[in-house]
Amino acid sequence: MRKINFFDTTLRDGEQSAGVNLNSQEKMEIAKQLEKLGVDVMEAGFPASSSLDFQSVKNIAKEIRGCSVTGLARSVKGDIDAAWEALKDGEEPRLHVFIATSPIHRLHKLKKTPEQVIQTAVDSVKYAAKTFPFIQWSAEDACRTELPFLAEIVGEVIKAGAKVINLPDTVGYNHPKEYGEIFRYIRENVPGAENVILSAHCHDDLGMATSNSLAAIENGAGQIEGTINGIGERAGNAALEEIAVALHTRSDFYNARSGLQLNEIKKTSEMVSKLTGMVIPGNKAVVGNNAFAHESGIHQDGVLKEKTTYEIITPELVGVASNSLVLGKHSGKHAFKNKLESLGYLLTEDELIKSFQSFKNLSEKKKEFTDEDLTAIVMEEKLSNGEAAYDLQSIQVQYGTNNITTATVSMLDQNKNLLNEAATGAGSVEAIYNTLERCIGEEIHLKDYRIQSNRSGRDAFAQVYVKIDFQGKEANGRGLAQDVLEASAKAYVNAVNRVLLLKQEQKEKTEVSI
């Protein structure tokens, strides 16, 4: 059975989703989980795009040892040099270099002739080969490129030293039959194609990213690129978890397999969702909350008699626990630690103490904690702002259907000064946000506000995601609490702290470079 390499670009293409901005600590947490998931290649970012992205890629390359870490580069020497500096300490440094090849891109974006595009591609691969032991080359918008020209440029970059050739459906344009035929054409018409790995990178603009990726595998692709939960710019990318489970479930048809640890899929999916703030639709294949739910009476009857009547994927396959051990207020630190380890969280002593203290504080109000609750607590503590500029101390809201809603807030600033303010609003959340704005003393624009329950039940945690515009920068914020208003306040303060932390990191890096 053929092994298909899985190239994860959650940290690069996935982060290009509108409104997503992960900090370096969050990227590292996702990178470690992707390593546990078993991806073959991890695209950690675009090193030349910013000093922060460069440093994040560099840190991930140093830390990750279970897979190859790569970075994106345009066909420009400066991009390639930046990528090498960021990736050179990795287990297997590889470069992902690209250039657009379609007529529309050549004419309007690059303003180059076909011959100039080929020469630029060849020169960049040869230049990269001086340092990088492994080079992947991509033909941006390959699917709208004339096949004879595509074959010609692919042949030349193979001669120059490229070991992986990526043929992306950059705008999600192709039908699966069309996309598969591109791979067949390249295999049959390019000398040396048998010595390289052909890779598929599909976008989901027409809802065919997974189908196109599987069609590529049927026609000789040895690598699939995508993201967790299918996130990415516009309509997103191919969802890696869908492709991996499809190969597993229909191995009889595809005669191919991934190397992913399928039981890590659900955990990885939830982590990416929480940190990006992108909610997983309930009907999302493989990882949605309804993926294993049966409402129809006929379906329920069939499943009770024999699961395979309506379930082709078992929940346990992708890491959905069929029964969760519940902890409560009387559970001790040892039981707490063992439970977290069974969920795959190996915490430092300091992280364990912080998480356990948070668990004990919440247990005064909440009777039982499921796996989902514990995961939420751990992620909240591990990814707290650290030296946050503002620390929320307390909120008080006075609300009545016939009264003006008033909120009172107490919080500490970076100098540990206690700030006390009150303000009104049309509703409780608006009153809280008006009060927080007074405390901070600067204008803050709320761009998005979303709330979701951590799980079912009256005592479920509220998780609030916000997006704000503050000091000329947009940032996401997350808040977790049993009370909706407290979670809302935490999310707002978290977003403000993220902007200030980002600005501080940029200032420090600028001072170092000077």
Written as six digits, the tokens of 231 are: 């996130």
Closest C-alpha to 373, from 302, 456, 431: 456
Closest C-alpha to 483, from 491, 475, 495: 491
Q: Please tell me the distance from the alpha carbon of residue 344 to that of residue 379, in angstroms, as a whole number.
A: 12
What are the E-state strand segments in 75-184?
94-100, 134-140, 164-166
Q: Please tell me the distance from the alpha carbon of residue 27 to that of residue 96, in angstroms, as a whole number.
A: 19
Specify the pLDDT at position 513.
39
Contacts of 227 (CB under 8 A, 6+ apart): 8, 9, 10, 13, 14, 236, 237, 238, 239, 240
pLDDT along the chain (514 residues), means of 10: 97 88 90 97 96 94 97 98 97 96 96 97 98 97 97 98 98 97 98 97 97 98 98 96 97 97 95 89 90 59 64 87 65 84 82 87 77 79 70 93 92 92 95 96 94 77 91 88 93 91 69 40
| Interstrand relation of 164-166 and 68-74 (parallel, antiparallel or unpaired) | unpaired
Q: Are 153 and 162 in contact (CB under 8 A)?
A: no
How many CB atoms are closer than 10 A to CB 248? 17
- Give counts: helices (H), strands (E), the chain: 17, 18
Residue 497 CA to its chain's centroid (Å): 21
> Which CATH architecture best describes the domain 2-276?
Alpha-Beta Barrel (3.20)
Contacts of 186 (CB under 8 A, 6+ apart): 150, 151, 154, 165, 167, 193, 198
Specify the pLDDT at position 414.
85
Q: Please tell me the distance from the alpha carbon of residue 481 to that of residue 40, in angstroms, as a whole number.
A: 37
Q: Are 258 and 234 in contact (CB under 8 A)?
A: no
Rg (CA), the chain: 25
How many CB atoms are closer than 10 A to CB 322? 8
Contacts of 87 (CB under 8 A, 6+ apart): 47, 57, 58, 61, 69, 70, 71, 93, 94, 95, 132
Contacts of 425 (CB under 8 A, 6+ apart): 405, 407, 431, 432, 433, 434
Q: Please tell me the distance from the alpha carbon of residue 109 to that of residue 286, in angstroms, as a whole number.
A: 38
Q: Please tell me the distance from the alpha carbon of residue 414 to that of residue 410, in angstroms, as a whole number.
A: 14
What are the E-state strand segments in 60-169?
68-74, 94-100, 134-140, 164-166
Domain boundaries, the chain: 2-276, 292-320, 327-382, 391-513
Burial class from Cβ neighbours inside 10 Å (0-12, 13-18, 19+) for residue 333 reads middle
Which helix (H) or strand (E) segment holds residue 484: the answer is helix 484-513
Give the angle subtended at the CA of 76 by the CAs of 47 and 57, to the nearest 5°. 10
Tell me the residue type at 169: D
Reduced to 3 states (helix: H, G, I; strand: E, B; else coil), residue 32 is helix
Specify the pLDDT at position 512.
39
CATH value of 391-513 in 3.50.50.60, 3.40.30.10, 3.30.160.270, 3.40.50.620: 3.30.160.270
Written as six digits, the tokens of 218 are: 């049927």
